[in-house]
Structure 1
């Protein structure tokens, strides 16, 4: 989800009224699954737990690495496009953002054995991206505004939008607009090992070191387009006559470090089917957060700016994601591979901890809120691949469903993806795979309070992925 803002009436930190307080949105940002980093898998709807017979097994199912018989090098990149059609007070605004990045490099090397297999792999993967955008503009005819919602902070006072007692003449009826641009990604270096523990039974495990970054730049405006507020917003200061504009910028930057581990099992029925099971242990992310606030008020003959040092902050904290338990099956029907899998994630298990510059009481409240608002879900993946005989050309298709983590969300808020892909494997040595994913879902966001300044979003998502491999 792009964002779900919430306003807290009691201020523990100033940031809790500025939309980017540490809350369940931050935990979801790193806990929601990405779309992987292998074009063959993506073309099959990432239904790959029971396949995983190449270097990408380090991401999908480490046990599958035991199926690799030759030294393999794999690399790839992807292009992501995020489009958001936002309805705000009967006005619709389009926005989009995109990014291109290297998404995987893997090296897999089997160790000669008398029987069975022993395989190790080293991989770099982009596990998910944070690309996103939002734009909106519309006239809010209600008696509410962001200015009023911030009266329990010093921001309106410092911008000469209140009297000396903190009261304001501004009572809604403003044109509200904003734009947000998100960017960044999570990446991991993974060491994987797999063995054939018994004939056709493979066991694998990995350990990953995580790094990443996230930036969200949000500009928000309230304009007196109907010239309602002609008097002095700060009585006794004639320069505050004829209010024109209130502007607030929130710039959030993360540096992310962390680690995670996964174990996997795969059983092969020769030339017919495979069964896979994985357990992803909770991922621990260490967040270094830099939050900056800028603000400005404009009048007919003057403007006032905020002191950014007063309202900005740097904090550190940990986010722990839930367990992910997944299982899948793939069946080979004379050149047609059909696969399906399901993954269980209980988002109530997300947790904040180890805050520096943040009170333990605040995080305790947020962890309770997570348990009250979130729910367990089951993600579904379906895929198929058909290989044209004697040519080595492969055609793929798939479908992905990632239900919303929120208890009361309708199915329109579930993330859904249709995928397709093609591939070519030359003599079992050189492989080239291309995949495309189209995703769609709905979202809402509150600029402040609840359902008084709300955006209604129709989101579409496009990803093109290219992967090449060489086995020798």
Structure 2
């Protein structure tokens, strides 16, 4: 097992970003998860810290459920549409899925009073809800031509890093690369390997990612004199991330000791299967100094995750019965950043409001810990050097056209978590709009959200950082509906 860990340290490669080690990429991926919203607050750009009175408060500022005057139930399904523009091949791909954003209920109870009904503790509200905090789903594929940066170059590096002769290679994948004539030892030094594939080859990259993160939240809110609203919640979170990332490479290799060239056709596949579960806490307050103004603050503790990671890689020769697979099961703990949010809302009488939030979190405070001290030191050092603090912004407005029909619009900006990375901006901007309709004790809300984000991708990394890498511009269009009832 110890030898396998040494091999793992030598050959494990990136999970999602072209210059990041697997655990560094995962640490950020599982720390960027955002709390869910009903369709109403989706349309408002997620601006909810100072508003309250909506099931979104279950997942954001729990003080908001203190504003409920009745009990309420709602659920929110959504349709997610994705398109990827791939720079390396100048192509695009699309995918879609249906999700349940959230479902929750709040029970409101008035406190028993015999004197002033508008002073002191007026009511308590208890809520429980399920939320989908993030979806990892994405599919894309593209073709390219290598230039001295193909699979032969990769396995020459990983086999050389073992410092073993061919008969003693610990990695089955490196052994399969040798047997498939992608690499050969130098002869004069049998522990150093060189690629024997042609300088150029045709590659097809195929990526299929699935999974997501969810949480069950238990919240308690209090209404004090209709001016102060306090709340707290406990969230039980979990996630599942799966990714199959395959490189098919077709080209020519030269048989050692001859001038004869032969075809080769191999598949190099990396399989990621990661599961985690954790817990977090939220505290919040909303102050209503006047009928027009509301001020809100909330703090969300880190989520303390226990994570099981099952990573494996396989090299399969499509022309000969040669296959090699290496597996690297690994358990670790992950602590995500502390989050602060502040919000301000101004109400235009009974006709509507405008609301704005600002949030702060420091991704350099992510903490990774396991039974492997060297992996911990390296990962945490890279977290501090690569990530930084961010400010997130939300703004939204709602206008009541009639007593039953409402219009909404919003904007959200999630800050770039990287200090420097390819001089690219990884800020995520979202634009939203929607409407609401009230009929008796029932209501229906709809939201449309358009967002785009930038990332880079490569299925493997070379020491010279010249592996085939593409830019991905992912556009997302989400439509969500919330159906609710007050009782």
> Counterpart in 2 of 1:354?
370
Equivalent in the alignment of 1:460 = 475
Q: Is the 8 A contact 1:322 1:350 kept in 2?
A: yes
In structure 2, what is the Cα distance between the partners aligned to 1:324 and 1:138? Answer: 41
The aligned counterpart of 2:323 is 306
Distance 1:198 1:146, change over 3 A: farther
Residue by residue, what CA displacement relative to the aligned partner does 1:29-82 show, whole Å, maximum 9, x if unpaired? 111133623100000000111112122211111001100011111112111122
User: In 1, distance between residues paired with 2:84 and 2:14?
Assistant: 23
**Which of 413, 431, 440 is the aligned partner of 1:418?**
431
Q: 2:246 aligned with 1:219, yes or no?
A: yes
Q: Which runs of 5+ in 1 are unaligned?
A: 1-9
CA distance in 1, matches of 2:92, 2:35: 24
Match of 2:217 in 1: 190
Query: Quick one: which of 387, 406, 428 aligns to 1:394?
Result: 406
Residue 273 of structure 2 is matched in structure 1 by 253
Q: How far is 1:411 from its partner? A: 6.4
**TM-score, normalized by length of structure 1?**
0.88
TM-score normalised by the chain length of structure 2: 0.86
Match of 1:72 in 2: 72
> Within 5 A, what are the aligned runs for 1:15-414?
16-17=12-13, 19=15, 22-34=22-34, 36-88=36-88, 91-113=89-111, 114=113, 115-140=121-146, 142-151=147-156, 152-153=158-159, 154=171, 155-159=173-177, 160=179, 161-164=182-185, 165=190, 166-170=193-197, 172-197=199-224, 199-224=226-251, 227=252, 229=253, 231-232=254-255, 242-298=262-318, 302-308=319-325, 311-334=326-349, 335-355=351-371, 359-390=372-403, 392-409=404-421, 412-414=425-427
Per the TM alignment, residue 186 of structure 1 is displaced from its structure 2 partner at its CA by 0.9
- Alignment coverage as a number of residue pairs: 443
Separation in structure 2 between the aligned mates of residue 67 and residue 199 of structure 1, nearest angstrom: 8
Is residue 35–residue 46 contact of structure 1 (8 Å, CA) maintained in 2? no
Instruction: Name stretches of at least 5 consecutive residues in structure 2 with no aligned partner.
Output: 1-5, 114-120, 160-170
Residues of 1 paired with 2:334 and 2:412: CA distance? Answer: 26
| Residues 406-433 of structure 1, C-alpha deviations (whole Å, 9 max, x = no match) | 1125564211111111111224x21111
Shift of 1:198: 5.4
Superposition CA RMSD, Å: 2.2
CA distance in 1, matches of 2:48, 2:424: 25
